[in-house]
């Protein structure tokens, strides 16, 4: 009797093709297993915000994760025939006992693949060591609080009014300065020259004809 071993090599990464809202379209590649058959494919969802990896022993369906407060769960278990077409994560359908719950919109999410190998009532499971991290709200606009919008608008208006006021003040000061310069150039300078005052010579000046020759008289 042949005994199967743990699937090898590791399962490949899930190819993410599109994601909108709480759903994501993925392609699950065919996995090789040299230690036995590939019986089922498991799709694991992990909320990266709370958990960087998952503990295999605690891995269960969506309901189990909710009841135990676990940020990771198996969202679907698919037959090899099911992966021939692209798969939608979050379509609210149950696959082999695993409810494919809608995905959260605001958290970082990781999706990864697990391979189930089963033969003669022996089951071996191998989960991928690497995961594909996505941000599901990439196509969903984030809601912005109206108060934040109003505050931002008020700040912007205040800054604009302040700049306008500064500009008007500068223009007004320039106009006042130019007006003062124009008034100064139009005013005439005052004359500081002193008036000319004629001084009358009141002294007695004898005419030449009336001059007396006092020297001759002394002789």
Q: Residue 19 corresponds to which tokens in the numbers above?
A: 């994601």
**Residue ranges of domains in the chain:** 15-139, 144-180
Instruction: Read off the pLDDT of residues 131-160 as tens digits, 9 standing for 90 and up.
Output: 555 444 434 444 455 667 788 888 999 899
The pLDDT value given to residue 219: 54
The pLDDT value given to residue 139: 41
Q: For the domain covering 15-139, report its CATH number.
A: 2.60.40
d(CA 32, CA 12): 9
Q: Residue 10 corresponds to which tokens in the numbers above?
A: 């590791």
Instruction: Read off the pLDDT of residues 163-202 as tens digits, 9 standing for 90 and up.
Output: 998 989 899 888 888 888 877 766 655 554 555 555 555 5
Kindly give the residue spans of alpha helices, DSSP state H, lying in the chain: 62-68, 146-186, 214-218
d(CA 101, CA 109): 13
How many CA atoms within 13 Å lie on the side-chain side of 120?
6
Between the two ends of the chain, the Cα-to-Cα distance in Å is: 190
């Amino acid at each position: 009797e042949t005994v199967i071993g743990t699937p090898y090599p590791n399962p490949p990464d899930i190819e993410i093709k599109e994601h909108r809202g709480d759903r994501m379209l993925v392609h699950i590649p065919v996995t090789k297993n040299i230690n036995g058959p590939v019986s089922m494919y498991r799709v694991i969802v992990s909320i990266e915000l709370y958990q960087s990896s998952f503990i295999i022993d605690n891995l269960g369906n969506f309901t189990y994760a909710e009841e135990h407060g676990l940020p990771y769960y198996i969202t679907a278990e698919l037959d090899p025939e099911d992966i021939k077409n692209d798969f939608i994560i979050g379509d609210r359908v149950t696959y082999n006992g695993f409810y494919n719950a809608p995905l959260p919109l605001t958290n970082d999410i990781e999706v990864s693949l697990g391979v189930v190998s089963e033969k003669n009532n022996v089951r071996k499971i191998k989960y991928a060591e690497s995961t594909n991290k996505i941000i599901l709200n990439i196509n969903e606009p984030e809601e912005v609080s109206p108060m934040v919008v109003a505050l931002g608008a008020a700040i912007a208006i205040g800054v604009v009014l302040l700049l306008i006021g500064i500009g008007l003040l500068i223009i007004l000061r320039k106009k006042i300065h130019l007006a003062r310069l124009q008034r100064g150039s139009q005013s005439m300078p005052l004359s500081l020259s002193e008036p000319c005052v004629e001084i009358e010579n009141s002294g007695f000046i004898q005419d030449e004809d009336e001059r007396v020759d006092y020297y001759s008289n002394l002789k």
